[in-house]
Structure 1
């Protein structure tokens, strides 16, 4: 009898455990199957909640939850596809890279990392979730650049022609803040599908002309990559935007609507949200010198840092000369022979940590020891100057404009391609 009772209790416990396990699995269900991965209900809910929170902060109205859910689902499908590609390509973002990015975001917001963490968690988002979302965005960006950059080809003649156009035209002095709505067309669309998409685009344009909110309609109707941001493409000159847009936007005024414009991916509707005069291109350069100590198997990180602290103190006390210490001790052989002199250079040419130092240090001050991928440094900024754009910078600027234009065009094409090629199954509720 006792044995029988024990068996009954054991079976009861097993059934109870199974019921609880089933309950736990049902808490977060699979919403969409994407190739060999999934998008969870919780992920869609979190993205919708994030968009709603941002809209509330900006006093922006939003469409129905069903529409938001559709847009969020599409965003997550594309994100999942790109994460799968990243895994196959071996693309990863280390904790150190992520921490550096978060520090840069905080600095851009004129806040400390702790202040930014408090701001994030105040909205109900966990800091760990925020960190992983940033990591995902960084990985997706790496995948996009790796895949799309190779589709962009720019000839020297194109660069020279644009430089000439810029020099002979005042068009480059105007930048446009564009809103964008894309009404997509199916791949290999038949005439009926094409006509339906065109009619939908015309309907959206008519609603905009009747005063409906552009950002809300973008979230509701757009298939563009910036739909959840209200279709905001940011600031760009006519030379930076896709050719299709530049041909019709150039010369338009704030508030003007343009479209529908037909491209390979669908019908585009644009709104000139604002315009501004483009500032003369100026380049800030710094003249600096440094001492580099590289850790090794016989020289620890801490010892390298201590050495630089000692050198810095000797210089400050007048007991040693910066140039002489650099010649004798710096591991940067190229600059050591010149007393640590790096000459005039743009801060962007240096490693991120070094760039931050030369941009923020007062002239003449010697930094505390800091670490980069090359080792430990102390650096002194000797002078700063601002240069007008030269022929070299005009070439670089023209190239970047062409690259930006072609990259935007190819990115839309590539994202539609990977979406069309993926296996996507929406799980029935």
Structure 2
């Protein structure tokens, strides 16, 4: 009996000692304004960096340098988290679940498979989940504070578009078909008029679907007439200036002309092209009503509210635009009766994009959840648009924005850190008893 008691006491002492060691490790290591960073947070981040380095066969600096970098990262995260609290930025559980589901879907994984992948990396799923929540919150804080610091002029966009075009010009190649309705030597006005009339007639036949090769063989005065007028692949910078100016920006199968030169009237066909980005996009025009859940409006109540709106609209008892103006939490579109205008569906969050993809013209879908809240959406119409020039401008804008946003983010973080109260608390030296 005595040995059992001794065993229990020893076990208790060991447990107490272990707990004491854990508590001593989880001390406050850094004070950051109104928040603190714990020793365990620093150790966890350092361990994670080391694990990643081993997995990627990378070398690392000393533990002291790693610790300094880890503290800097955690200080920055803490300042952003505190700012998020002041701004009232929160990510609800449904928003978080939707984001994680989207991450899994983008990796072609179901949620069970995704959990297994996370577990294999040695990360508890709840820890991963909260890390994603923190990333979403800090992302919102950065966007809210840095976006207004970024200014891009139309001239900057225009200059970058020109640079992109110049860089792409060397790769631009056109497969050209050519028909020449030639002039006789020293043509008279009547000769020129007759040639123009013939060229117009040829172009009319081609537009009606006549075979280009057959007409070229029959009617062209060009050197490649017997080859069906096929000039082959030509670099935009290598072809005659007259042709280059005429075909630049034209789509595949485009007919161009008649173009007059000293030799006669030329008709060109762009048989194919390569090295050129031609963007055709489907645009959608839609309208929506957004209801955001809150402390006094649960997720279920928000969904039910939109379901009732849908029933009233379909029954002719309510007007979509009127409901949007009165109830939608999206102020920009609410003023327009919920209308979002013509847009590439890619600009929308995945849930919104998917909902639009499943709708027919004028159809009102069932309420659905996105990161922003609950939506009721009606697809007004679809169209196919040549977005090449717009895409170039968008690409230029995005390149400029990304560069300036990164620069301004660094400046904003430095300013925030410089004005914060930060105190690193060094651990007390251990004392040895006699």
TM-score by length of 2: 0.53
Residues 298-353 of structure 1 show CA distances to partners (whole Å, capped at 9, x for unaligned) of x9946976998xx9xxxxxxxxxxxxx9695886349x9xxxx9996421354542
C-alpha distance in structure 1 between counterparts of 2:170 and 2:63, whole Å: 41
1:124 to 122, 127, 138: 122
1:375-405 per-residue CA deviation (whole Å, 9 max, x = no partner) reads 56588899785x5533333333322222222
Partner of 1:63, secondary structure, is: coil
- Following superposition, the deviation at residue 288 of structure 1 comes to 8.3
Contact 2:84–2:138 (8 Å) recurs in 1: yes
Select the residue among 94, 113, 117 that pairs with 1:115.
113
Report if aligned partners of 2:168, 2:276 keep a CA contact under 8 Å in 1.
no
> Which residue, out of 332, 339, 347, partners 2:320?
332
**Does the C-alpha gap of structure 1 residues 404 and 283 become closer, same or farther in structure 2, counting only changes over 3 Å?**
farther
Distance 1:101 1:303, change over 3 A: closer
Partner of 2:175: none
SS at structure 1 position matched to 2:77 = helix
Q: For the Cα contact (< 8 Å) 1:288–1:358, is it kept in 2?
A: no
SS in 2 for 1:398: helix
Residue from 86, 93, 96 that aligns with 2:94 = 96
Query: How far did 1:41 drift?
Result: 1.1
Asked if 2 retains the 8 angstrom alpha-carbon contact of 1:29 and 1:40, the reply is yes
1:56 to 54, 76, 79: 54
Determine the structure 2 residue equivalent to 1:72: 70
Q: Structure 1: how far apart are the matches of 2:80 and 2:340? A: 40
Q: Please state whether the residue corresponding to 1:74 is helix, strand or coil.
A: helix
Q: How far off its partner does 1:374 sit?
A: 7.7
Distance 1:37 1:110 in 2: 39
Moved more, 135-144 or 366-375: 366-375
Q: Is residue 286–residue 344 contact of structure 1 (8 Å, CA) maintained in 2? A: yes
Equivalent in 94, 104, 107 of residue 106 of structure 1 = 104
Instruction: Give the alignment partner of residue 33 of structure 2, picking from 17, 32, 35.
Output: 35
One of 280, 286, 299 as aligned partner of 2:277: 280
User: Residue 162 in 1 paired to residue 160 in 2?
Assistant: yes
The residue that corresponds to 1:81 in the other structure is 79
Mapped to 1, the partners of 2:290 and 2:151 lie a distance apart of 41
Q: Please state if 1:134 is matched with 2:122.
A: no
Conserved 8 A contact 1:283-1:346 = no
Deviation at 1:47, TM superposition (A): 1.3
Q: Residues 133-152 of structure 1 correspond to what in structure 2 (within 5 A)?
A: 133-152=131-150
Whole-Å separation in 2 of the counterparts to 1:424 and 1:346:
46
Aligned-residue RMSD, C-alpha:
4.6
Alignment deviations for residues 120-179 of structure 1 (CA, whole Å, 9 cap, x no partner): 123332222111111111111122122222222222222233333333344999xxxxxx
Q: 1:398 aligns with which of 396, 407, 414?
A: 396
Structure 2 CA distance for aligned equivalents of residues 106 and 367 of structure 1: 28
8 A contact 2:279–2:386 mirrored in 1: yes
Report if the CA contact (8 A) 1:289-1:382 is conserved.
Answer: yes
For 2:113 and 2:82, locate their aligned partners in 1 and report how far apart those are by CA, in whole Å: 34
The answer to whether the 8 Å contact 1:285/1:344 transfers is no
> Please, what TM-score do these two structures have when normalized by structure 1?
0.53
| Structure 1 residues 342 and 146, CA gap change in structure 2 (3 angstroms) | closer
Distance across 1 between alignment mates of 2:302 and 2:415: 50
Question: Structure 1 residues 342 and 85 mapped into 2: Cα distance closer, same or farther (>3 Å)?
Answer: closer
> How many residues were matched structurally?
289
CA distance in 1, matches of 2:412, 2:287: 44
CA contact (8 A) 1:291 1:329 kept: no
Return 5+ residue gaps in structure 2 as ranges.
Answer: 1-15, 172-274, 325-338, 428-434
Q: Which has the larger radius of gyration?
A: 2
Q: 1:26 aligns with which of 24, 27, 33?
A: 24
User: Displacement, 1:358?
Assistant: 4.0
Question: SS where residue 125 of structure 1 aligns?
Answer: coil
Q: Which moved more, 1:369-378 or 1:95-104?
A: 369-378
Does the aligned pair in 2 maintain the 1:159–1:398 contact within 8 Å?
Answer: yes
Closer, same or farther: CA 103–410 of 1 in aligned 2, 3 Å: same
In the TM superposition, what whole-angstrom CA distance separates every residue of 1:211-256 from its partner, at most 9, and x where no partner exists? xxxxxxxxxxxxxxxxxxxxxxxxxxxxxxxxxxxxxxxxxxxxxx
In the alignment, the residues of structure 2 paired with residue 99 and residue 422 of structure 1 have an alpha-carbon distance, to the nearest angstrom, of 33
SS of the residue aligned with 1:150? helix
Q: Deviations over 1:238-286 (max 9, x none)?
A: xxxxxxxxxxxxxxxxxxxxxxxxxxxxxxxxxxxxxxxx983736425
With over 3 angstroms needed to count, the CA separation of the structure-2 counterparts of 1:143 and 1:380, relative to structure 1, is: closer
Q: Aligned partners of 1:83, 1:172: CA distance in 2, in Å?
A: 49
